Structure 1
Amino acid sequence: MYSANEHRYEEMKYNRVGKSGLLLPAVSLGLWHNFGGVDTFENGRALLRKAFDLGITHFDLANNYGPPAGSAEEMFGKMLKSDFAPYRDEMIISSKAGYYMWPGPYGDWGSRKYLIASLDQSLKRLGLDYVDIFYSHRPDPNTPIEETMMALDHIVKQGKALYVGISNYNAEQTKAAVEILRELGTPLLIHQPRYSMFDRWVEDGLLDVLEENGVGSIAFSPLAQGLLTNKYLHGIPEDSRAAKTTSPFLNANDVKEETINKVQALNEIAQQRGQSLAQMALAWVLRGGRVTSVLIGASKISQLEDSVGAIQHLDFDDEELQAIEKILKA
C-alpha cells in the first residue's frame, strides 16, 4: 500500500490563484504525455507517487490526453482507487474539453452540448463526482463565447467542478470571458497559456488582463517541449522528440543552430546560478509572481526532482535578467 511522504508539504511553495481562496503548488504535473494507454502503467504510477511525495498537489488532465484519447484520465482514475483515495481532498485535479474527442458535430470545440457531455465522460473515467478545475481548452470561433461561459457556469452550479478556467484564449477573449462569468456569479479562476523563454506572447496584454481581474495563471510548455533543458545542448539526440519525424509538436526544424547557441548561452547563466537550465527556465516563468504555477511534464523521476528543485532559487537580480534578455533577443 502507498503511504505518502509525511514531509511532502515542507519544501514545496504554494501560491494563491489570483484573488481566490485556492493555492496551487509552484510546480504542477501535467499528464499530456507519458500516462496514456501506450505507456507503461508502473512508470506512470511511480511518477505520480513521487510527484505527490514532493508536494505536487495539482494534477492536470484533459479529455484527449493519452494516447489514445481518454486513457490518461483512465490511468489517473486507477491511481485514485489504488493509491490516492485517502488523499483526494489534498489534491487539485483538473480536466478540459475543447479539442476533438468523438465523431460527428458534437465532439469538438466549445458548445454547451460538447463541454457538458465531455465532462460527464471524464468524470466516469476518473471515477469522481467532480473535478476541482474544469477548463474550456480553446476558444471556439463559431460558438458565441456567452454559450461557452454559460456552460462553465452551469457545470459549477451542478457541482461537477469547483472552479472553472480557460486555456489558449487571447487577451481580448479572456477579458470577455471574465466579464461574462462575473455576471453569472462564477468567477474565472485561472488561465492556462503556453509560456516560456522562447514563447512570450502572454506578455503582450494577457498577463495584464489576468492581473487586473484577479485571475491566476498556470503556464504550460514552460520548458519549450524540452528545448530549455540540457537535452539539446549539443544538438538533437536520437531518442528525443525532435528526432522523430512523425512528431506533430517539436521537430528538427525547431532545433536550429541559432536556437542551440541560445540554449548554450542560457545554460552558462544557469550554471552560474547553481541551477540546471530547466530549473532556471522554470524560475524565469515564475519570476515576479505574475504566474501562479508552471505545468511540467515528466517521463523520469529524475526530471521531476530536477524541476521541483527550481523553487529553491526563484529570484533573479537585474544583471541576470538583462543577460537573459540579451540572449533571447539576439
Structure 2
Amino acid sequence: MSRGSTITAGPPAPGTLAGMEIRRVGTSGLRVSSVALGTMTWGRDTDEHEAAEQLKVFLEEGGTLLDTAATYSGGVAEEVIGAMLGQVADRDEVVICSKAGVRDGRVDASRGALLDGLDATLARLGTDHLDLWLVQAPDPGTPLSETVSALTYAVRSGRTRYVGLSNHPAWQTARVATLLEAEKVPMTGVEMEYSLLQRGVERELLPAAQDLGIGLLAWSPAGRGVLSGKYRRSVPADSRAASPHLRGFVEPYLNDRARGVVEAVATAADGLGRAPIEVALAWVRDAPGVASAVVGARTPAQLRGTLAADDLQLPEEIRTALDEVTEPATGYPERRG
C-alpha cells in the first residue's frame, strides 16, 4: 500500500513558515495539503476572530485544505469561512471540502435534500463551487443510485469539482464508486475517522479505497483530542470532554484501552522530544492511503502546537511499536487463520 501521491510543492512562498507537503487525493488531479484545517467548532466554540487567526496560521504553514460541513454549528462554520474569503484568503488559495446529507438532525441523502443542501452551502460560502463535496453519512432510506444521481449532477453542473463519501462502510463506498464510474464521474475521496485509537478503516475501507484510486481524508487523527495527553490525569475545565455539546464526542475514548494507547504515544513522544499530539498526527498523516489528516483546534495557539508535527518523520521502530500496540482485531473474512 502506498501513501497519497506527493507533489513537489517547491520552496515556501515569502513570509511562510514552512512548505507543507502537497499530495494528490487518490489517483485524481485534486491536490491538497497533507494536513487539513477542520472547522467543526467555528461559529460556536471558536469565534470569527479566532477562526481568522487560525486560517492565517494554517496558510503561513503552507496548508490549503479547509474541511467543513453544512451541519457544523448549524451552517455558521460555512458562513465564517465565506466571510474570510477575499479578506484572509483568496478563493484560489484554499481547497474547500464540505459535506451534506444531514439536516435537522436527520440523515437525508435523497437527490432533493443533497442538491438543496449544496446550494445552501455555496450561498453561505459565497462561492460558485466546492473543490470536494461529500455525502456525510449513510442513508438507509435512499437508494444509492439516487444519491449518485445528485453527485453526478453536482459535478456536471459545475457546483463541485470532485465528489466522495464520508463515514460510509466499504461495501457502499465500492458500490457508489462503481455507479459513478458508469457516469464518467469518478469518486475522488472518502473522509473517515482514523487514529491510533480508531483503526477500523484498515479492515476493509482503506484497502478498497486504495484499489479504487480513492484518497482518504482522516478526521480526528488525535483520537478526538485524547491522544494529546490532556486527559491523562483529569478532564480540564476548558476541554471538549467538559463541554456539554462535545462531551459525548470524547467519552468513547476515555477508557482503559485508550489510556494504554495514550501512554504508548506519550512514551514515544518523550523519546523523540516531541509532544504526544505531534506523534499521533505524524502516524496518521504518513499512513498508507492517507491524502490528508484533518485537524481542529479551539485556539490559534493550539493549532500551532498541532502543526509543529510538520517536520516530524516517525522512526520506523517507533511506528512499528505503535502499530503493534494498537493493531485492530481482524478475522474472517478479512483474514483467515
Q: CA deviation at 1:255?
A: 1.8
Q: Indicate which of 60, 72, 91 corresponds to 2:67.
A: 60
CA distance in 2: counterparts of 1:302 and 1:231, whole angstroms: 15
Give the Å deviation of 1:308.
2.0
Structure 1 residue 180: Cα displacement: 0.6
Structure 1 residues 248 and 269: CA distance shift in structure 2, 3 A: closer
Q: Name the CA shift for 1:239/1:206 in 2 (closer, same or farther; >3 Å).
A: same
Whole-angstrom distance in 2 between the partners of 1:153 and 1:51: 32
Question: Is residue 12 of structure 1 aligned with residue 10 of structure 2?
Answer: no
1:125-140 equivalent positions in 2, closer than 5 A: 125-140=124-139
Moved more, 266-275 or 196-205: 266-275
TM-score where L is the length of structure 2: 0.87
* Count of paired positions: 317
1:74, CA displacement in angstroms?
Answer: 0.8
Q: How does 1:1-330 map to 2 (within 5 A)?
A: 6-8=14-16, 10-33=18-41, 35-37=42-44, 39-66=46-73, 69-84=74-89, 87-101=90-104, 108-244=107-243, 247=246, 249-252=248-251, 254-317=253-316, 319-328=317-326
TM superposition score normalised by structure 1: 0.89
AA aligned to 2:68 is L
- One-letter amino acid of the counterpart of residue 76, structure 1: I
Please tell me whether the aligned partners of residues 50 and 300 of structure 2 are also in contact (alpha carbons under 8 angstroms). Answer: no
Please identify, of 222-231 and 305-314, the stretch whose mean Cα deviation from structure 2 is larger.
305-314
RMSD of Structure 2 on Structure 1 (CA) = 2.2
Take 2:104 and 2:131, find their aligned partners in 1: how far apart are those partners?
21
Q: Which amino acid aligns with 1:169?
A: H
Deviations 1:208-238 (A, max 9, x none): 1111111111000111111010312323222
- 1:125-181 deviations in whole A, cap 9, x for unaligned? 111111111111112111110110111010010010011111011111110011111
Spell out structure 1 runs of 4+ moving beyond 6 A.
Answer: none
Q: 1:143 to 1:156 in 2, by over 3 A?
A: same
In structure 2, stretches of 5+ residues that fail to align are 1-11, 329-337
2:62 is paired with a residue of what secondary structure? coil
130 and 263 in structure 1: CA distance in 2 versus 1, 3 angstrom threshold: same
Identical residues among aligned pairs (%): 33
SS of 2:43's equivalent in the other structure is: coil
**CA 1:323–1:151: 2 relative to 1, 3 Å:** same
Query: Partners in 2 of 1:100 and 1:6 — Cα distance?
Result: 42
| In structure 2, distance between residues paired with 1:305 and 1:182 | 40
SS at match of 1:174: helix
The structural deviation recorded for 1:257 is 4.7
Q: Is the 8 A contact 2:22 2:34 kept in 1?
A: yes
